[in-house]
Structure 1
Amino acid sequence: MKKLALPLLTSLLLAACATTPQTKPEPPQPAPLAATPVAQAASFADNPIVYFVVTDRFANGNPANDGSYGRRKDGEQEIGTFHGGDLAGLTAKLKEGYFTQLGVNAIWITAPYEQIRGWVVGGKNEFRHYSYHGYYALDYTVLDQNMGTPDELREFVDTAHAQGVRVLFDVVMNHPGYADINTLSEFVPGLLWKGWQQYTLKDYHSWIDYNNFAFGDWWGGKWVRAGLPGYGEGGRDDLTMQLAYLPDFRTDNKEFVGLPKFLKNKPGTRAVELPNTTVRGYLVKWLSDWVRDYGIDGFRCDTAKHVELDAWKDLKTAATAALADWKARNPGKKIDDVPFWMTGEVWGQDVSRNAYFDHGFDSLINFEFQDRVGATSLEAIYSDYASKLGPRRFDVLSYLSSHDTRLFDRSKLQNAGSALMLAPGGVQIYYGDESGRKEGPATAGDPQQATRSDMNWQAMDAELLAHWRKLGDFRRRHPAIARGEHRKLADTPYVFSRSHAGFADRIVAAPQASGEVSLPVAGVFREGETVRDAYSGATAKVSQGQVKLVATGTVLLEAAGQR
């Protein structure tokens, strides 16, 4: 979710480049490996390859749900309206093999639980902004009908698990959605002036009686800070502020609360009164129930810096127990026994360890990678990241494009794809980076909307997609890329190795190499050993510590037969 602008990140101190094999004693030669033991040795947390998709903008598998709750297109640029993507569409693409061909082992989807019914004013009074992105929650206990049905969610999760792909929910504990006119008309109609049905972008707020204490029938002052009659004002610090004027959940409130009045009366909700429970307790219960009911494998936690660390720890504890319970009841549907996994958005986070990792987070989103690629050498990035992330004291998800920042230069996605998919630590693919998806329409008041265009199924860059598929498949089979010891082997073309004794895994890669090349591999592959270039499919034997072959843009070397 878009946050307040921050100063540019300070650059990291670069780790010293590794000495080339020619100037130091050659280490013991490893033995040839088979692929199966490597795959068994590494867990998801060792090598996360996460595909982030804005579900509404990806694939429309069930057009019958497109107009749920009376939502409509605006007939203009459709910047902030629902476009039709849903869970059924994701399932269809799973069945086509789209994600496994990319090497993806987890899909992060936008929050699928029920959102505010209507729209609010987007940008600077520029467009109708619906909650297609999942950040304006109304009811955490039921699916949003635009996303699909419980059966469709179950089929999506089961289909993903059958392919070894985990499902991650985007979750928000910092705020619910705005009090939009359509939602108020259904649950607190006394807040709207007579004739509200004729509201427009220009006069939207004039139809809501913002001085009316009937707002207490909405979330209520014990639940949120909202600056409305009967509510406290948002604070000035990260934990109590109203981010983007959204109501701020009082997750720090120790007082026991009952259900908000609108939820008590809401048809179809699964929310029930919980004895001796706080706002935080309700949210933790609601979110962890998705894990217990469907086997959701992990959460990406939105606006993490705006919620108390102990709240995130509570969520992780509850979700971990819920997933263990689901796996015990569904042994035939689970992928493995890896525990619940959690990553978070801490705006401005780089590759450094902090208190979040002691409060439930296995990973955090890495905001700096997008800026470093192209601005500094790959060796500087890789040696830095490998020294910090290889031992897995903590982890990050690096990305090229984001729904909150910008799309990476579309003309440079080939080399950038290599840079990302060969990076140490976890990686996140933003939907369409692999296919050349173009920017969509946006406004001056909200330029990030351009990053959320429809998936370009009818105009995919086939060559680019093939490139990403080779990289993803190679990465998924080699946890040493994420966790291995990194060594630079040559400068021109740039060649490096990653080796991990614990996984019995080793690779050599040249991210940008074309034509006849002779690549150093001494200390990684032994003399006379046959290696395979997973990118071109060619094989070659190691001779005098070198491998000679014809490179086709990228070289990805592994022991022959390791597939």
Structure 2
Amino acid sequence: MRTSRGPALRSRLRLLPLLALLAGLTDPAASASPVAPAAGFAANPIVYFAVTDRFANGNRGNDRSYGRGPDGAGEAGTFHGGDLAGLTQKLRDGYFAGLGVNALWITAPYEQIHGWVVGGKQSFKHYAYHGYWPLDYTRLDANMGTPDELRALIDTAHAQGVRVLFDVVMNHPGYADIGTLAEYRVPVLWKGHEKATLADYHGYIDYNNFDFAQWWGPDWVRAGLPGYQEGGGDDFTMQLAYLADFRTDSPTAVGLPPILQNKAGSGARALPGTSVRGYLVSWLSEWVREYGVDGFRCDTVKHVEPDSWRALKNASTAALADWKKRHPQQKIDDAPFWMTGEAWDHGPERSGWHDAGFDSMINFDFQHRAGGDWNAVDAEYRRYAGLLGKGPRYDILSYISSHDTLLFPRENLRHGLSALLLAPGGVQLFYGDESGRQPGAAPDGDTQQNTRSDMNWERPDEALLAHARKLGQFRARHLALARGAHKRLGQQPYLFSRVDAASGDRVLVAPDAIGELTLKVHGVFADGAQVRDAYSGRAATVRDGAVSLRADGALLLEAAP
């Protein structure tokens, strides 16, 4: 059911970032100049990625949906209780406004497989808490919340100028787990499957049974099961990690997959004459049309044909325009739908994926370079700014920590956050990097699991968090950081300028500056100009091409308001 919120609610929500600042959630120096977007979102994306299940628990009543239980190995692989209501609560607290972020990327909230599969070397029960094992693209997963809770999340985010991005996967459904197979009566399980353990799990599934056709069906996926095609030998048709591969390359019209035909409460309906690609595009874009989702982070991009991603972008762009037309009070602006993609090992260069519907591609390169000294980081800044300033406009999304790779060294997070939040292009902040969240359990050394520990709300590193807030709010005000020409101006302390010629925006930054300093600013700020250090809040006047200020650990110079 579509609902509409009136101007009164929107006006109240608009006050939330300001109230958060007044309540002291950000450092006074950083909040003295309010966060104000310097350009459209696509020109300066500051994306916060939260693994929803591990972030904040706003509704404890949904924690054990579908009978999901503990994993038997430090709880690394099961649901922890984080949900949409928890994210909304943190929005209302002003947490994201305080960090200057303008987009919230959340793990896929649609319904996942209900049971578990064997994780590690038969060491833990692995549930789909991360959102990458879909069962029903048309329904919210009960662990994530309700339609009303999703609407509340998006309304609250939009009122603060924060976009909401869904993680989506078009490459594969979830595994054929015992719990889901039993619940939907796919007759391929041996008697006693209810007692399956980590050691004998696969022995209870009859992988030679042609009744597997009652699962997704051979028209829908390549699965290497009786009656199904084997996975192919190329990126587009292979089975990734033994997951079934959606046949998005096939133009053949299909009916609903059998498992959804038999699933009570599914919103999936037959679409005559529609291919697998068409169904997936319809299901995913409907979240945009119904709720106003602003963009997608697309998983396993290199394993799905470019035409499929173009179709998703086109359908979602039309869906968001339709939603905005019907919800003028709830939209942020009239910017189009936005997509970023994960193609493993993609670097900062422009690629063919930017022509396949992607506004941005995730940059795997930066994580490995951000830990170097400022000489090394500056070389990356120059390279990135040079690449982004050439030819057709494109963007990247850099990060220092990831749920798919590793966490940035915890002892070096101050440097890592500075390197990231001052980088050219778009940036993605992984939950807890700003507060010193520590790694979690890693059964069998599974480092992916230990990147996904619970958010450290009870023991944040307050000094680190204050540092991240100052940097994030500064970045939110300055298009030059994302799109400007980069020039190194000093060695000790390391000093650079970033100037965007088109908008005139300009900044001068010394990320590790401390003490009394006199810095040459000729070519950045003119004599007589009033400048402000966004890190300390101190102001100064440019005289004889220089400015003198005392720095408190960093210097973030901008024109004084």
- State the partner residue of 1:453: 453
Task: Classify the secondary structure of the residue corresponding to 2:232.
Answer: coil
- State the partner residue of 2:134: 137
Alignment: residue pair count: 527
Counterparts of 1:230 and 1:329 in 2: how far apart (Å)? 46
1:61 to 35, 58, 62: 58
Task: Classify the secondary structure of the residue corresponding to 2:509.
Answer: strand
2:201 to 200, 204, 212: 204
Counterparts of 1:195 and 1:159 in 2: how far apart (Å)? 47
Counterparts of 1:164 and 1:435 in 2: how far apart (Å)? 23
- State the partner residue of 2:385: 386
In the TM superposition, residue 528 of structure 1 has moved relative to its aligned partner by: 1.9
- State the partner residue of 1:14: none
Which amino acid is 1:185 matched to?
Answer: A
Is the contact between residue 390 and residue 482 of structure 1 (CA under 8 Å) also seen in structure 2?
A: no
Counterparts of 1:464 and 1:548 in 2: how far apart (Å)? 26
- Shift of the 410–86 alpha-carbon distance from structure 1 to 2, 3 Å rule, reads same
Is the contact between residue 60 and residue 84 of structure 1 (CA under 8 Å) also seen in structure 2?
A: yes
Instruction: Say what the alpha-carbon RMSD is for the aligned residues.
Output: 1.5
Unmatched runs of 5 consecutive residues or more in structure 1: 1-34
2:40 to 43, 65, 74: 43
| Stretch deviating more after TM superposition (453-462 or 437-446) | 437-446
- State the partner residue of 1:156: 153
Which amino acid is 1:379 matched to?
Answer: D
Matches within 5 A, 1:16-95: 42-95=39-92
In the TM superposition, residue 40 of structure 1 has moved relative to its aligned partner by: 6.6
In the TM superposition, residue 70 of structure 1 has moved relative to its aligned partner by: 0.6
Q: TM-score, normalised by structure 2?
A: 0.92
Alignment partner of 1:543 is 2:543: yes
Is the contact between residue 93 and residue 99 of structure 1 (CA under 8 Å) also seen in structure 2?
A: yes
Counterparts of 2:167 and 2:501 in 1: how far apart (Å)? 35
Counterparts of 1:273 and 1:149 in 2: how far apart (Å)? 24
- State the partner residue of 2:529: 529
Matches within 5 A, 1:141-220: 141-220=138-217
- State the partner residue of 2:20: none
- State the partner residue of 2:424: 424
In the TM superposition, residue 74 of structure 1 has moved relative to its aligned partner by: 3.1
Is the contact between residue 47 and residue 425 of structure 1 (CA under 8 Å) also seen in structure 2?
A: yes
Counterparts of 2:234 and 2:37 in 1: how far apart (Å)? 46
1:108-157 CA-to-partner distances (Å, cap 9, x unmatched) read 00000000000000011111000000000000000000000000000000
Matches within 5 A, 1:305-454: 305-375=302-372, 377-390=376-389, 393-444=393-444, 446-454=446-454
- State the partner residue of 1:25: none
Q: TM-score, normalised by structure 1?
A: 0.92
In the TM superposition, residue 189 of structure 1 has moved relative to its aligned partner by: 4.1
Unmatched runs of 5 consecutive residues or more in structure 2: 1-31
- State the partner residue of 1:21: none
In the TM superposition, residue 445 of structure 1 has moved relative to its aligned partner by: 5.7
- State the partner residue of 1:20: none
Alignment partner of 1:504 is 2:501: no
Is the contact between residue 390 and residue 424 of structure 1 (CA under 8 Å) also seen in structure 2?
A: no
Is the contact between residue 424 and residue 483 of structure 2 (CA under 8 Å) also seen in structure 1?
A: yes
Is the contact between residue 73 and residue 123 of structure 2 (CA under 8 Å) also seen in structure 1?
A: no
Which amino acid is 1:383 matched to?
Answer: R
Counterparts of 1:388 and 1:304 in 2: how far apart (Å)? 22
1:428-478 CA-to-partner distances (Å, cap 9, x unmatched) read 000000000000001236221110000000110000000000000000011
Which amino acid is 2:287 matched to?
Answer: W
Alignment partner of 1:246 is 2:240: no
Alignment partner of 1:100 is 2:94: no
Is the contact between residue 188 and residue 215 of structure 1 (CA under 8 Å) also seen in structure 2?
A: no
Identity between Structure 1 and Structure 2 (%): 66
Counterparts of 1:163 and 1:197 in 2: how far apart (Å)? 47
Is the contact between residue 440 and residue 450 of structure 2 (CA under 8 Å) also seen in structure 1?
A: yes
Task: Classify the secondary structure of the residue corresponding to 1:114.
Answer: strand
Counterparts of 1:37 and 1:194 in 2: how far apart (Å)? 64
Counterparts of 1:555 and 1:74 in 2: how far apart (Å)? 47
Runs of 4+ in 1 over 3 A off after TM superposition: 35-41
- Shift of the 127–170 alpha-carbon distance from structure 1 to 2, 3 Å rule, reads same
Counterparts of 1:204 and 1:433 in 2: how far apart (Å)? 36
Task: Classify the secondary structure of the residue corresponding to 1:457.
Answer: coil
Counterparts of 1:415 and 1:442 in 2: how far apart (Å)? 26
Q: Which has the higher contact order (CA 8 A, sep 6+)?
A: 1
1:37-59 CA-to-partner distances (Å, cap 9, x unmatched) read 99576100000000001000000
Matches within 5 A, 1:215-294: 215-294=212-291
In the TM superposition, residue 503 of structure 1 has moved relative to its aligned partner by: 2.0
Counterparts of 2:449 and 2:69 in 1: how far apart (Å)? 18
Which amino acid is 1:173 matched to?
Answer: M
Counterparts of 1:515 and 1:41 in 2: how far apart (Å)? 30
In the TM superposition, residue 252 of structure 1 has moved relative to its aligned partner by: 0.5
In the TM superposition, residue 378 of structure 1 has moved relative to its aligned partner by: 2.1
Is the contact between residue 186 and residue 215 of structure 2 (CA under 8 Å) also seen in structure 1?
A: no
